[in-house]
Amino acid sequence: MEHSVVTDIRKVIEDLQVLEKSLGADGNHDGKARVFQVRAVLQQKENDPEACIYTIVHIQRMLRGSGGLFTAIQPGINPGPAQETQLDEPIEKMIHSCRSFLEDQGR
């Protein structure tokens, strides 16, 4: 597997770990649990780009109406565009890397 695909997947996992700790420190245990679930799935499947795409796209669809991953994890709190971008950018990069890898594989 291409190094950049794994690197991009791991970057999202690391960002989710940071978010998870932040939510726990803020006392948002429901949000922390949701982030943990997402991160756990990605960690289990980090060597399977196709599974990572399905996982993250499904989560994005589920949360899109709430204004992005971060907003949905902390309902009623508008974190502002800077914090959302922190997550959205690595996620989009990961999706792009995974898709490119799969296209190169003919899938």
Query: Whole-structure pTM over 0.85, yes or no?
Result: no
Domain ranges within the chain, ordered by starting residue? 3-104
26-35, 39-48, 64-73, 98-107: the lowest-pLDDT one:
64-73
H helices of 26-80, where? 29-44, 49-64, 69-73
Per residue in 42-55, pLDDT (tens digit) is 899 888 888 888 88
